[in-house]
Amino acid sequence: MRMEYTGLPAMSGFGLRGFTENQLKAIHRGVLYTLETTGLKVQSQSAADLFTGAGAKVTAEKGFFKVNLPQWLVEDSIGSAPKSFVYYGRDSKYDFTAEPHRTGFTAFGQCINILDPETGEFRSSTKKDMANSARLQDALEHIRIVARTMAPGDIPAESQPLHCLDAILRNTGKHISGGAGNVKNLKAMLELLYVAAGGKKIFETRPFYSPSFCPTSPLTLCKDCCEVAVEAARSNLGLVVMVMPLSGATAPVTLAGTVTLALAEQIAGLTLVQIANKGTPVTLGSATTIMDLRTSVSAMGAPESAIINASLVQMANFYGLPSRVACGVSDAVSLDSQTGYEYATNATTAALAGASIVFGGGAMESGLTHSPAKLMMDHECMGNIRKILEGVSTDERSLAVDAIEEVGPAGSYMMHDQTLQHVKELRKNPANDLFNRKSRAAWKKNTGGKYICEIASEKACLKMNNHTPFPLPDCAIEKMDKILVDF
């Protein structure tokens, strides 16, 4: 017997949908009401002028401006933001298309500490650590965008963004993301980027850096935030508007209220960017979670973090816009089982919701500490999540009705032609992978009885010490050194 099929093969993958269409629309109405009625506190004169010129209601207050955004302006801004765009790599093989339901992964950003993979010591992070982290991220296949993982303690706070970008540029050919802090930094960072690209025109053709800017919760756009957003948009950079309200502290205690507030802040940032330069690519970013009211800790590993951020992903998908959410950061203070549980639970939830970028790899202690060993383990999990997202193909070959008929009851598929032809498609666990599928005896023989944290630390060191990143243009290092002299 031979079954006949028509149409295209089904390969939609698995997904997660937490809201009905009516619920999505209700949240959207709540955002429109908030932005029009409650409004924003804006601390930048130039941004207030842009809002005024675009048709917003702007009222001067003592030391700031009250800005109320009409619904038509908000919806026009959402409509003008691109629904799909490319995060370019300096090396084109790392280009990544940002759009809903096409998920990439990256590490978490701006950790002040590091769990040293060589010594096991918790200590303040340095610029050298940032360089090593960038090289490790460059070496890991499931990392699509290299994050500014450090806030290095050996660099003055005001120039950390510039020095971190310098360290990253020397160690990756992938797209780079991280905040600029202020316009002075951003302008110097652009000079570094032009040199690394081999010229300003080359960079402008394929911009491989996306700055983030962060509204302050609740509903505040500070001066530096506004100025970085406007300058970046006018420099034709894509932007990530990154919000971080805390449910129960800087956001309502209800999860739906937190989602509404966070989304309002995202859309406020997007609106400013579109007013500054219509058509600028914007990714809706979030590191939103709850405050544990018993400990006053931002509980990044809590299940509520996954719920809130998956909700924001679905709202971004409702608008057709790319999203980036911090899911996978652990609250654990040691490299133990908790770090794995929290990464797997929260990152999987965000990916199934359709996030464009899931960031959170390598971070523990609620985002204060970066661990290269944890990033190695998280990277293994990223590969597993990607496999889940593929779902199940139901085309004729995959249904294998002919093979089932040929083998029949009580037969074996081990030596069947189809098995031999497609055995490479089965999920493998190569010798250099971290997760174990060997027997206890084989595990002990191959690893000496070391556990995954120890092996991950060793492999992270090997990659950081031996990986060769995509080279910079000739003489770029000398030119970059000169730019850094005044910082």
Helices marked H in 34-126:
45-54, 71-80
In contact, 278 and 310? CB cutoff 8 Å = no
Beta bridge partners of 176: 146, 209
Q: Residue 395 pLDDT > 90, yes or no? A: no
Helices (H) and strands (E) in the chain, counts: 18, 22
Within 10 angstroms of residue 3's Cβ, the number of other Cβ atoms is 9
Query: What is the per-residue pLDDT across 296-348, written as a single tens digit (0 to 9) for each?
Result: 889 999 999 999 999 999 999 999 999 999 999 999 999 999 999 999 999 99
The β-bridge relationship of strands 209-210 and 212-213 is unpaired
| CA–CA separation, 275 and 280 (whole Å) | 9
Q: State the pLDDT at residue 13.
A: 60
Half-sphere exposure of 201 (CA within 13 A, CB side): 0
CATH 3.20.20.480 fits 12-405+433-487, yes or no: yes
Hunting for tokens 């089904």 — which residue is that?
10
The residue extents of the domains of the chain are: 12-405+433-487
* 124 SS3 class: strand
Which helix (H) or strand (E) covers residue 196, if one does? helix 183-197
Half-sphere exposure of 180 (CA within 13 A, CB side): 30
Q: Residue 476 pLDDT > 70, yes or no? A: yes
Query: What is the per-residue pLDDT across 71-103, written as a single tens digit (0 to 9) for each?
Result: 999 999 999 999 999 999 999 999 999 999 899
Q: State the pLDDT at residue 4.
A: 43
Dihedral angle sign, alpha carbons of residues 254, 257, 258, 259: positive
Joined tokens for residue 308: 């809130």
Percent of the chain topping pLDDT 70 = 95
Helices marked H in 416-475:
417-422, 440-447, 452-466
CA–centroid distance for 337 within its chain: 23
The reported pTM is 0.93
Residues in CB range of 34: below 8 A, 6 or more apart: 219, 260, 261, 264
Q: What is the mean pLDDT of the chain?
A: 92
Hunting for tokens 């032009």 — which residue is that?
194
Joined tokens for residue 410: 């009580």
Q: State the pLDDT at residue 210.
A: 97
233, amino acid identity: A
Beta bridge partners of 124: 113
Arithmetic mean of pLDDT, 132-142: 97
DSSP state of 58: E
98, amino acid identity: A
Query: What's the start-to-end Cα distance of the chain, in Å?
Result: 75
pLDDT category at 427 given cuts 50, 70, 90 is: low
Query: What is the per-residue pLDDT across 191-218, written as a single tens digit (0 to 9) for each?
Result: 999 999 999 999 999 999 999 999 999 9
